[in-house]
Homo-oligomer: A and B are copies of this chain.
Amino acid sequence: MKPTLQAVADAVGVSRSTVSNAYSRPDQLSAALRERILGAARQLGYPGPNPTARSLRRGFVGSIGVLFTSQLSYAFTDPFAVRFLAGVGEAAERHGTSMLLVPLSRAEPDARRAVENAAVDGFCVYCVADEEWALEVIRARGLPYVSTAARDDAGLDERFVGIDERAAARSVATHVAGLGHRRVALLADSVLPDAPAGPLALSGVDQVPHPTTHGRLAGFADAFADVGVGWAELTLVNAPDNSRQAAAAAVAGLFDRPTPPTAVLAGSDVLALGVLDVLAERPAGNRPPVSVTGFDDVPEAASAGLTTVRQPAEEKGRIAAELLLDPPADAAAGHVLLPTALVVRTSTGPVPRS
């Protein structure tokens, strides 16, 4: 049997409290006794207070959870997510906190259980789509959280770090519209929860439930509305998840249509890179001159020459963790909007006249 704190107390001949103090409040006992206790503990092979028991009694755990909508393995496939995690990790590390990665599996009962059972002091909600129930569970547990995807109904009491998705998306779309493009495809991930890969007809952008996706698509649409291209004239393409493969599958066939789009605006760099993959695969002679844009400005975007919108990934993660671990007294300071920048590279160009 593993020795308990009681066993150490018995061995030394002091009370449990004193042994506990030896570990957690060294100033509460004499240095000599403390040494004697730690020595006995070493000898008995006592590994220190049991973390679970300790957190039960103390009421906090010393780790924060990061909630992902998607599978855990996707989180590591998406460079933006990785950089976000790095930021969270950096801040957590500074606070002596570890991070628990909690994936939300597709099956809601399981996913719900994961949120209910996570032993954490709070959550960074990386990307919860319409999983409003997850936030409810967190609130019911009385845990603080920071979300990164704004929702319209989010109260100001809710801590948040993110960008103005709509304005950022509009900026890159305005650039594309300015190049003369009018036949345009918008590519996004999880436009509707279980939609298949490929073109998707939607009466309006407000049908899109995921706030981030909604914001970006709405921003794209805004820019084209400005130049007289309505929603109905835009081709909406759905990718079942945020990966190059999914994007490639979604746009396959798009360029063989009678009137193919001259530009594809993607909701993320990963999707945009998937579009570039598809184009690169075609024989050079049969490669349509399509402009492609991304979103995020992940490291790969630079080498691919992708025009995109930069948002500060690590900083987003860092601030999210910071808002959680060291909440500002002022409620308004709990709502952080980060800057974005349009980055024009070689993947966009003037519409070819033909």
Q: Is A53 an interface residue (CB 8 A)?
A: yes
Interface string of A23-59 (1 = CB under 8 A from B): 0000000000000000000000111111111111000
Q: Is A83 an interface residue (CB 8 A)?
A: yes
Q: Is A62 an interface residue (CB 8 A)?
A: yes
Cβ–Cβ contact A100 & B98, under 8 A? yes
Q: Is A303 an interface residue (CB 8 A)?
A: yes
- Name the one of B62, B76, B116 contacting A48, with C-beta atoms under 8 angstroms: B116
Cβ–Cβ contact A89 & B118, under 8 A? no
Q: Is A292 an interface residue (CB 8 A)?
A: no
Cβ–Cβ contact B72 & A90, under 8 A? yes
Cβ–Cβ contact B72 & A101, under 8 A? no
Q: Is A17 an interface residue (CB 8 A)?
A: no
Interface string of A114-143 (1 = CB under 8 A from B): 101111000000000000000001001110
Q: How far is the CB of A177 from chain B (nearest CB, A)?
A: 32
Q: Is A282 an interface residue (CB 8 A)?
A: no
Q: How far is the CB of A125 from chain B (nearest CB, A)?
A: 15
Closest chain B residue to A3, Cβ basis: B140
Cβ–Cβ contact A98 & B89, under 8 A? no
Cβ–Cβ contact B119 & A96, under 8 A? no
Interface string of A65-96 (1 = CB under 8 A from B): 10000011101110000110110011011001
A92 / chain B contacts, CB cutoff of 8 Å:
72
Interface centre among A45, A72, A77, A100 (most CB of B within 10 A): A72
Cβ–Cβ contact B103 & A101, under 8 A? no
Cβ–Cβ contact B89 & A119, under 8 A? no
Q: Is A102 an interface residue (CB 8 A)?
A: yes
Q: Is A63 an interface residue (CB 8 A)?
A: yes
Q: How far is the CB of A58 from chain B (nearest CB, A)?
A: 9
Cβ–Cβ contact B98 & A114, under 8 A? yes
Closest chain B residue to A65, Cβ basis: B98
A47 touching B89 in the complex, CB below 8 Å, given contacts A61-B52, A98-B103, A100-B99: no
Q: How far is the CB of A83 from chain B (nearest CB, A)?
A: 7
Interface centre among A45, A86, A90, A117 (most CB of B within 10 A): A117
Q: Is A245 an interface residue (CB 8 A)?
A: no
Cβ–Cβ contact B52 & A73, under 8 A? no
* 10 pairs of residues in contact across A and B, judged by CB atoms under 8 Å: A47-B142, A51-B118, A54-B117, A71-B89, A71-B90, A73-B86, A76-B86, A96-B114, A99-B100, A119-B119
List 13 extra interface pairs beyond A46-B140, A73-B89, CB under 8 A. Answer: A50-B56, A52-B55, A56-B56, A63-B100, A72-B93, A72-B99, A73-B86, A76-B82, A76-B83, A76-B86, A89-B103, A93-B105, A303-B303
- A-B CB proximity, top 5 nearest: A72-B89, A76-B86, A47-B140, A73-B90, A48-B116
